[in-house]
Amino acid sequence: MDCTDLSLSDKVFDGFKQHHFSLPTREMGAWAICIPAVTEQRLVIDGKGISSHLPSMLDSINECCGTKIPIDVTVIQTSYDWKHRSNVHFPAKTNRRENIIWTEGEQAKAEAGEVVKDIDDLHSKLDNLYIDGCRAEDRYLRIPMSILQGGGLDLCNSDGSLMAFVCLSLPEDICCGLASNLLACFDGKEVLQMLEDCANCDLEKLTEQTLSHPFQCLHFSLWNRYSTTGAGAPTHIHPHEMARVGVSRTNHTQCLPYASKDILEHQQVYNNVLATFSELFEWLEHVMKTHLPEEYEVIVELSQNLPGGECSPVAPFLSIVINLNVTTEAHRDRFDKDLCLVLPIGEFKAGDLVHFEQGLVLELRCGDFVIFPSDDTTHFNLHYEGKRASFVFHTDKGFDKWKKGRNGWAVNNHFH
């Protein structure tokens, strides 16, 4: 191809599928000075062309993981009915103060839950935990990770869908450096605080403390919520030349999926995290693809065909949240697409993850992780001692609109 021929170059590059708006037509008059060919220095590139298959990072992790011992996963079918009216209803309070108090009450019940002794005991207790598809009132099962002996646990709902997938098989060379590597991403700043046990703290004092000092988090996310849609818009006009009627400002930056504010404001930390934890991200994707293939395909489909051919660095998910000094209140992540993955980091005691409707208390430790339906499971943490952070991976549910019709812009003549 003669790259000095601007018309030919434009035609070639416009031929690539970008899932993006095309640039305005080139004004050749303004480019007239560049039209004559430059022949004094000619660079000729010769070769066999580009391979039809470009190796991905997942290829290398597949080769690596193929030499490792397979994860021994215990699968347990339960009678829990996630569609039951009692399980669909959000049980906690919407008022922040009232929700903190409600959460404290449930934390006490969860801490007093029945401790599971081994896998057989877990089978037995789960058989008796649910009545007509719902958890018996105030019953909680505390599941120590030691009963899994370094393997995994796949809990299923009554219809066979995923309740929770727990994995303890993170390679030691990745696990042992999680906390120190996280601190290094913040240039060694002491972002993790040493917390003491507050089980005997006054409830009113604890509530005020929580309200005034919420935990810190960074949302390194690709969003598609609150998007500016092209439904009903003229198809022959470039979107950037349109304006919405009845509003003072048209947000053209949200016609397409967009990066979160934290990515833009904390670019160095974001880049540090991607570079430092790439091996972890690849391993998590490998495990999910291997052991939850159906759930993986649903999530990964939304990370394909992003604007400009962009690839998610935390595939199959599109977002990673870094929670620092975390004890969450009862909540559901209603903007999550089906699932999230939670992986705690640090040196701490307690801090267990509680699934309210299912009555589960997961005693996760550094490097353990759980995948569960975060959009319809009320969950929160127990209090902890020590230093604790967590990675939370998820995908914005708004990407369903992008998948179906590119936010309504797929029919626009300037979208390609």
Q: What is the pLDDT of residues 251-282, one digit of tens each?
A: 899 999 999 999 999 999 999 999 999 999 99
Indicate whether 59 pLDDT > 70: no
Q: pTM of the full predicted structure? A: 0.88
Asked, for residue 15, whether it belongs to a domain, the answer is no
Asked, for residue 261, whether it belongs to a domain, the answer is yes
CA separation, residue 272 to residues 183, 263, 278 (Å): 10, 12, 10
Asked, for residue 414, whether it belongs to a domain, the answer is no
Q: In 3D, which of 340, 263, 259 has the Cα closest to residue 307?
A: 259
Element (H, E) at 343: strand 336-350
Q: In 3D, which of 189, 206, 209, 187 has the Cα closest to residue 198?
A: 206
pLDDT over 90 percentage in the chain: 70
Indicate whether 197 pLDDT > 80: no
Q: What is the pLDDT of residues 360-406, one digit of tens each?
A: 999 999 999 999 999 999 999 999 999 999 999 999 999 999 999 99
CB 330 within 8 A of CB 102: yes
Q: How many Å apart are CA 52 and CA 104, to the nearest integer?
A: 56
Q: How many Å apart are CA 259 and CA 267, to the nearest integer?
A: 11
Asked, for residue 5, whether it belongs to a domain, the answer is no
State the pLDDT at residue 188: 84
Asked, for residue 285, whether it belongs to a domain, the answer is yes
- Mean pLDDT, residues 319-323: 98
Q: How many Å apart are CA 170 and CA 305, to the nearest integer?
A: 30
The DSSP bridge pattern shows strands 360-363 and 353-355 to be: antiparallel
Asked, for residue 207, whether it belongs to a domain, the answer is yes
Asked, for residue 76, whether it belongs to a domain, the answer is yes
- The CATH number for 125's domain is 3.60.130.30
The DSSP bridge pattern shows strands 360-363 and 141-144 to be: parallel
DSSP 378: -
- The CB-based long-range contact list for 301-307 (8 Å cut-off, 24+ gap) reads 301/403, 302/337, 302/395, 302/399, 302/400, 302/402, 302/403, 303/395, 305/19, 305/403, 306/19, 306/222, 306/257, 307/18, 307/19, 307/20, 307/256, 307/257
Q: Token pair of 28, please?
A: 């050749």
State the pLDDT at residue 400: 96
Domain that holds residue 326: 64-408
Asked, for residue 35, whether it belongs to a domain, the answer is no
State the pLDDT at residue 48: 55
Residues in CB range of 372: below 8 A, 6 or more apart: 162, 163, 164, 165, 339, 340, 342, 355, 379
Total domain count for the chain?
Answer: 1
Q: What is the pLDDT of residues 134-157, one digit of tens each?
A: 999 899 999 999 999 999 999 999
Residue 27: CB atoms within 10 A of its CB come to: 8
